[in-house]
Amino acid sequence: MYISRAVGFAAGALRTQNVASIVSRPLGIQAAVKARTYATEATPAGQIRSVIGAVVDVQFEQDNLPAILNALEVKDHAGGRLVLEVAQHLGENTVRTIAMDGTEGLVRGQKVVDTGAPITIPVGKEVLGRIINVIGEPIDERGPINAKTHRGIHAEAPEFVDQSPTPEILETGIKVVDLLAPYARGGKIGLFGGAGVGKTVLIQELINNIAKAHGGYSIFCGVGERTREGNDLYHEMMETGVIKLEGDSKCALVFGQMNEPPGARARVALTGLTIAEYFRDEEGQDVLLFIDNIFRFTQAGSEVSALLGRIPSAVGYQPTLSTDMGGMQERITTTKNGSITSVQAVYVPADDLTDPAPATTFAHLDATTIQRFLSQPFAVAQVFTGYEGRLVKLQDTIRSFQEILDGKHDSLPETAFYMQGSISDVIKRSEELAKEMGGQ
């Protein structure tokens, strides 16, 4: 009778008439708590039902479905540790997941367990000088990372009240950047260009210069780029002293190369960002986050979206393009504890700046007001654009530019700056927009 009551208590079926008899026996409490602990620690397990490329469907028992974005692990996988991320609930106790590595060798009926948390990676000073993949495993053949702290790669962006932008210039040591297009500390900088124009070379030079002069920590995310470039970067960093095998390194590398499945390429930027967030929030550091290439992040998201059967939007991109980009970019910001300054290489497909991928990235980068103001309607293109051509005198251009930099027109909507002449035209356009909105 006593054993059945203890087990009933462990299962959560606590009846009033059983409380007194159980509590009155010290040994009974220990047995019940122990049984309760074992019941809590039971890990939900499922079985693979289908494998279609990087998409794996897993069926669980009733009421044991893992949450969306939870990480699952395939047991007894010949290729090593294989992590699946839950993307959809299909019904009939089945979830659709995206694999973070190759699915070769998987079979139906193979056991899968729910970790109960999102993909969790090591963070802290232990990852400096190391190369890790999307799930936080070291891939530099230098042994395990014995980190004291781990974090999930999915997190909310800092609240607006916690953000604290500081108008301070980040000195890069590159003349053309510091003189003509200075970078703001805690801002987002985009390096736009087609294939082979030198985006990665410029990022590598920035890492080298800033790691030496800045003295802070840098995180490099290789998102869908060439493995050879990552290998070259690693050895160059060791030669220049940015990475020291004996310790005291200033940079961590996170790689998800172009040969990786789309799930890994879509999440590796979040892995690097999570490491940067730790140094900002817990260590109070000013961190530099380099992402090469942010277009591959969008491209991988498009592949994942197609694999999940979502209806594509313009040019075949995922319908959640703006949401995916915003969810990551909003986490890159300056708070009261520290800052993250991000430099992102942006591949422009076919040199088309109106492509949805680079166009969506534009909105999250600094100096968008200047970018719009530098547009100008041409008289010869009026038949195509519908805008009357404007001739702007040099004095008006300099005056308008200076006023924008001084912040005199921060109250005007950015839309009013597009395809205008001098700042007077911008003010007039903003008044027209205000009347249109008021009329509605």
Catalytic residues: 199, 225-226
What are the φ and ψ backbone dihedral angles of 220, each rounded to 5 degrees?
Answer: -110, 125
- Report strand pairing: 131-132 vs 251-256: parallel
d(CA 384, CA 435) in angstroms, rounded, equals 26
Which token pair is 227?
């493995």
SS3 267: helix
Helix (H) or strand (E) holding 86: strand 82-91
List of E strands, 100-182: 111-114, 120-123, 131-132, 149-152, 169-170
Instruction: Indicate the angle between helix axes 262-281 and 294-307, nearest 10 degrees.
Output: 130
- CA–CA dist 74, 79 (Å, integer): 10
Q: Is 396 exposed, middle or buried (0-12, 13-18, 19+ CB in 10 A)?
A: middle
Which residues, listed in sequence order, are joined to residue 59 by a DSSP beta bridge? 47, 94
Euclidean distance between CA atoms 303 and 295, whole angstroms: 12
CA distance 271 to 145: 15
CB 274 within 8 A of CB 252: no
Residue 256, number of CB atoms within 10 A of its CB: 29
Q: Give DSSP secondary structure letters for 372-403.
A: HHT----GGGHHHH-PPP----HHHHHHHHHH
CA separation, residue 55 to residues 114, 118, 286, 320 (Å) = 17, 17, 38, 19
Eight-class DSSP state of 156: P
Question: Contact at 8 Å (CB) between 36 and 70?
Answer: no
3-state helix, strand, coil in the chain (%, to 5): 40, 20, 40
DSSP code of residue 161: G
Output the CA torsion 333→339→343→346 (10° steps).
-10
